Structure 1
Amino acid sequence: MNRLLLWRMLQEEVRLNSSFASRRGFWLFPLLVVGAGLLATALAAELTADVPYREVLLGLHFSFLFYGLFTGGLAFFGSDFLERIFGHYALVTSLPETQPLSYRRVIGIYFCKELLFYALFTFAPLTLGALLGTHWSFIAPERMLRLLASLLPSFCAGLAGAFLVASLYRRSLYAAVAGGTVMVLALGTLLAGDGLPQLMWYLDGSPPLPLGWGLALLPALVATLLVGEFHEQALPPVQGYREQYRETLAGSEWSRRWAVPAVVAKERLDLQRSRTGIKMVFSFAVPLSMLVFVNWFLDRGLPLEVEFNTIFWGVMVGFFGTMLYSWLNTMDDSSFYATLPLQVPDLVRARLVLFGTVTWWIPALFMGLIALLSRELRLLPLAIFVMAAVGLYVVSYTAWITGLRTNSSLYDATIFARFFLVSVPPMVLLAILSMALEQALPVVMVALSFTCLVLLLATQLFYGRIEHRWAGEEFD
C-alpha cells in the first residue's frame, strides 16, 4: 500500500506540473540541469581558483540546503492552496478524509515523494551532467560521485526542516518559531564543531555517511509524529467582508494608475482572509534566516576575508521577492474571474501592486536584521534601495513571462532559461559592485545607482508588456 501511494503521488506531481507548464518544457527541464552540471564541472577550476577548497564545499552544501528549504516551503506550506485551487479534483493527500488511512501515514509518504521526485528530477540529471563535465575538469568521476552523494543529505535536511516548521505551524505560530530557532542553533553547533557529517565524510571518510542521513531525516521523523492522526480542516469564520471591502476599496483608489482598484481591494482582502501572509512570512523567513546565519558565521565564525556586506545581501533578498509573488498566485482559484468583465492582465497587475505595497515589509524587516547583525546600519538605506530595485525588476519580469502560474511555469526549461539569463547577470554585477564598495566608494555608489535605475526602467518595460502577453489567456 505504501509503495502504491508513493507511486500515485509521483504520478500526481508530474501531471500537476506538466499541466501548469507545457509538457515539452517540463520534460526539457532535466536537460537544462544536465547542461548546468556539465558547465559547472568543466569550469570548476576557474570558478574556485581563489577560494579555499573547504569553503567551496561548504558553500555547495549551503546551496543545496537552501534549495531543500525552498522546495520544502512550497510543498508543505503550499499543500493547502493546492487543495483549494484543485478542489474539484481528489488529491492523494486528501485520502484520509474519505479512506481508512491516517494522515500521519500519508504525509510521511508525501515527504518521501518530495525527496524522491527531486532526486530523480534534479539530482539524477545533475549527476549525469557533472560526470560528463569531468572529462574537461580536474575532478575524477569517482570523486564527483562521492561529492554528489554527500550533497543529497544536505538537500534532504533543508526539505525536512521545512517539513518540521510546517508541522509545528499547524499547532501554533510560537511552536514554529521555536522549532526554526532550534534548527538554526543546531546547525551552528555542527559548524562550530567538526562540521557537517556528510561534508566530513566526503573529505576523509569519517564519520560514516548514514550519520549525515540520520541527522537530515530526524526533523522529518519528528514532523511526521507531530502532524497527528488526521488532517484538521480549519472552518472558515462566519464573517461578512462587505463593509471591509468598501473601506479597502476606498483606500485602493490611488492604485488606479497601475491596476483596477476593485481587484486590488479584493486581492488584499483575500490575502487577509486566507491568512496567506503568515505563510508567506514563514516561507520567506526560513531561507532568509539561514542567509542571516551564514552572514554572521562568515563575519564572526570563520577567519576569512569575505566582503559580503549589507548591500550584497540586499541583492539576494530582492531576488527572493519572487517567492512572495508566487504565494500571491496561490491564494485562491482565480477561474471565477472568468465570469467578470476582467482579463488576466488585470489580475496580474493587481497582484504586482499588492506585492509592492503590502508585502514589502517582509524583506525590509530581514534587511534591517542583516544590517544590525553585520553592524552596517549606515548602508541600510542604500541596501533597501538595491533590494527594492532588484525585487521589482525580477518580480515584474516573472509576472510577464509566467502570469498567474509562477511556480509551475519555472519548470518549463525555456521559461527558466529566459528567467536565468535576465535575472542573474544584473545580480552578479550588483554583487561585484557591493564587494568593491570599500575600495572605491564614490565610483561604486554611482555605478550602483545607475544600475538600479536601469533595472527600474526595465521594470516599467516589463510591466507595460503584461497586457500584450496575457490579454488573450483564460483564467482557468
Structure 2
Amino acid sequence: MFELFKSMMKEEWRMHSSFFGDRGFALFPVVVASISMLLSLSMIIFGRIISQAEVLLGLHYLLLFMGSMVGGFGLLGREVMNRRFGQASLLAYSSRTLPISERVIFSNFIVKDVIYYLFLYVLPFTVGFMAGAVILDLQYSFFMLLTTLFLSFCTGLSLVFLLSTIYANLGKKALFLIFMIPIVFLIFFQGIRFDILYELPPLVFYLAPSLDILITCLALVLVPSIVSLIFLRVDYSQSQKHYKNQFREITESLGFYGYSHFMAKDYLDFSRSEGGAGKIVFSFLVPVLLVWLFLPQLLKAVPGLDILVVFAVVVGMMASSMYNWLVEFDMFSSYAFLPLTVPDVLRSKLNSYSLLNVFPLIVVVIATVYAGRMNDMVHIILLFIAVSMYVVSVTIYLTGLNTTFSLYSAGTFASYVLAIGPVVLAMIFLAQLNFHLVLASVLLIPLSVLVLKRSFVKCGRWEV
C-alpha cells in the first residue's frame, strides 16, 4: 500500500513540475509563506483593535473554510477511477488493471491530496505567519499552531467530504437534507455569543491542550472520512448511459448569446459529468453558506467593517471558481480541427461563466434581503458583478485555459494575489469610510474589459 502512495506522490510532483519546471512548482509554498507573513505583519496596524486570541480565531476558521472548499471528494469516486483528466493519465485511472480494491486506491489518492495541501498551503502559511510574529515579537507555538491549523483544514474537508458522499449516493433526494443543515445552523446562530466560536475543537486544543480535545479533533476528521470511504461510490456502470439529444434545444434557447453552441456543449459536459449540479453545491454553495454563517461573528473581531460588503466581495471572488469547472477538462486540442482560435474558445467560456453567475448573484440578493438592506441592493449587486468580472479577467489573463494547473506556478500565483488582493481590500476599506464609495467598484468593469482584451491578444499568440 505504501508503494502505491509513494508512487502517487511522485506522480503528483512530476505532473506539476512538467508544467512549470521543478523550480516553478517548488517556489509555490514560498509565495504562500510570503503572503502569510504580510498578513502577520499587518498586526502592526490592527494590533490595537484585534487581540492575539481573535487572530487565532480568524486563522483557524480561514483554514476550516479552505478545507471545506476542497472536500468534495465524494463526487469524484467514479470519475477519478474511470476518466482521464486532460492529457494526464494517472495511477488511479488504472484501477481496473491493478490487483487492489478501488477503495484502497481512492483512499491513497485522498491521503496524497491532503499531504500535498499540507505542504503546499498549511505548512508554508504557518511558517510565514510565524516569521511575521517573530519580527513583531508575538508569542505563538509553531508546532502547536501547525497542528491545529492542519486539523481545522482537515475538519472542514472531512465534513464536506461526508456531505458530498451522501449526495453521490442519494442524489437529489439528499439536497433537501444538505440544505436543511445550514438553515438549522442559521436559526441556531441568531443569538449566538461571539465567544462560542472559540469552541472549535482545534482552536480549543491550541488554547488549552488536553488528550480529550485531541481525540475529539481526530474523531471529527477520521469518522466522517471513514464513513465516506465506506459508502464511496466507485462502482463501474454495467450498462451504457443514454441521453436525449438536447443540443439543438439548448442552442435555440440560448440563441441570444453569440456563442450558444459552445455554451450548450459546456452545459452538456457539465451536467453529464460525475457530480453534475453537486459541483455547484459542494465547491461553491456549501463554502458560501459557511461564510455567511460565521462571517458576522468573525467580523466582530474587526469593528467597523460592513458585513454585507465583505460577503459580496468574498462571493465575487469565489464565483471565479466556476470558470475553473468550465475549463478543467476542456483543452483547446478538442477544438483544433475547427476554424477557431484560442480567443474564440475563451469568449465562449466567458459566456457560460456569465450565465453561471446567476447562482452567486441569487445568493448575494438573498443575503441582502435577509440583512434588511433593500435600499443598498444596487450598491451590493454592482460590487459583486465588478469583483466577479475583475477576478475572472485576471484569471484568464494569467492562466488562459489551464487555470487548475497554472495557479500552482509560483510566479503566476504571486501575480494573481498581487493583482487581486489590493483591489478587493481597497473596496472593503472604502466602504468602511463611506458606504456609497462602494460605487467606485464600477471602475473595475472597464478595467476588466481592458484586461480581457489583452488576454485575447496574449492567448491568440499561443501555439496549440
- TM-score (normalizing by structure 1): 0.85
Q: Is the 8 A contact 2:49 2:302 kept in 1?
A: no
Given residue 198 of structure 1, which amino acid in structure 2 is its aligned partner? P
Q: How does 1:78-89 map to 2 (within 5 A)?
A: 84-86=83-85
Question: What CA distance in whole angstroms lies between the structure 1 residues aligned with 2:257 and 2:445?
Answer: 18
Matched, 1:415 2:412: yes
Matched, 1:6 2:10: no
Q: CA deviation at 1:195?
A: 0.3
In structure 1, the residue matched to 2:67 is 68
Q: CA deviation at 1:125?
A: 2.8
Q: How does 1:146-295 map to 2 (within 5 A)?
A: 146-171=144-169, 172-175=171-174, 178=177, 182=181, 192=196, 195-206=199-210, 207-227=212-232, 230-233=234-237, 237-239=241-243, 241=245, 244-256=246-258, 260-274=259-273, 276-295=276-295
Among all aligned residue pairs of Structure 1 and Structure 2, give the percentage whose two residues are the same amino acid. Answer: 28
Question: What CA distance in whole angstroms lies between the structure 2 residues aligned with 1:266 and 1:94?
Answer: 25
Question: What CA distance in whole angstroms lies between the structure 1 residues aligned with 2:125 and 2:353?
Answer: 33
Given residue 469 of structure 1, which amino acid in structure 2 is its aligned partner? K
Question: What CA distance in whole angstroms lies between the structure 2 residues aligned with 1:268 and 1:288?
Answer: 23
Q: How does 1:135-150 map to 2 (within 5 A)?
A: 135-140=134-139, 143-150=141-148
- TM-score (normalizing by structure 2): 0.87
Change beyond 3 A, Cα 1:466–1:98: same
Measured against aligned partners, the alpha-carbon deviations of 1:389-419 in whole angstroms (never above 9, x if no partner) come to 1101111111121111111111111111111
Matched, 1:397 2:394: yes
Matched, 1:471 2:460: yes
In structure 1, the residue matched to 2:337 is 339
Give me the CA root mean square deviation.
3.1
Work out which of the residue numbers 427, 430, 439 in structure 2 matches 1:430.
Answer: 427
Larger CA deviation: 58-67 vs 325-334: 325-334
Query: Is the partner of 2:38 in helix, strand or coil?
Result: helix
Gaps in structure 1 of 5+ consecutive residues = none
Q: CA deviation at 1:368?
A: 3.0
Q: CA deviation at 1:21?
A: 4.2
Query: Is the partner of 1:115 in helix, strand or coil?
Result: helix
Q: Is the 8 A contact 2:122 2:149 kept in 1?
A: no
Q: CA deviation at 1:305?
A: 5.2
Query: Is the partner of 1:339 in helix, strand or coil?
Result: coil
Q: CA deviation at 1:155?
A: 0.5
In structure 1, the residue matched to 2:313 is 315
In structure 2, the residue matched to 1:448 is 438
Given residue 232 of structure 2, which amino acid in structure 1 is its aligned partner? V
In structure 1, the residue matched to 2:95 is 96
Larger CA deviation: 401-410 vs 31-40: 31-40
Question: What CA distance in whole angstroms lies between the structure 2 residues aligned with 1:398 and 1:108?
Answer: 32
Matched, 1:327 2:331: no
Work out which of the residue numbers 353, 357, 366 in structure 2 matches 1:360.
Answer: 357
Q: Is the 8 A contact 2:379 2:438 kept in 1?
A: no
Change beyond 3 A, Cα 1:81–1:395: farther
Q: Is the 8 A contact 2:41 2:136 kept in 1?
A: yes
Measured against aligned partners, the alpha-carbon deviations of 1:226-275 in whole angstroms (never above 9, x if no partner) come to 115x434496632353xx4334444445433xxx4543443344334437
Matched, 1:114 2:113: yes
Q: CA deviation at 1:287?
A: 0.8
Question: What CA distance in whole angstroms lies between the structure 2 residues aligned with 1:345 and 1:240?
Answer: 31
Question: What CA distance in whole angstroms lies between the structure 2 residues aligned with 1:186 and 1:106?
Answer: 35
Measured against aligned partners, the alpha-carbon deviations of 1:118-160 in whole angstroms (never above 9, x if no partner) come to 11222333344344434412223x6233222211100111221
Q: CA deviation at 1:30?
A: 1.4
Given residue 230 of structure 2, which amino acid in structure 1 is its aligned partner? L
Question: What CA distance in whole angstroms lies between the structure 1 residues aligned with 2:320 and 2:237?
Answer: 29
Query: Is the partner of 1:421 in helix, strand or coil?
Result: helix
Change beyond 3 A, Cα 1:17–1:462: same
Question: What CA distance in whole angstroms lies between the structure 2 residues aligned with 1:34 and 1:66?
Answer: 18
Given residue 235 of structure 2, which amino acid in structure 1 is its aligned partner? H
Q: Is the 8 A contact 1:77 1:283 kept in 2?
A: no
Q: CA deviation at 1:317?
A: 0.6
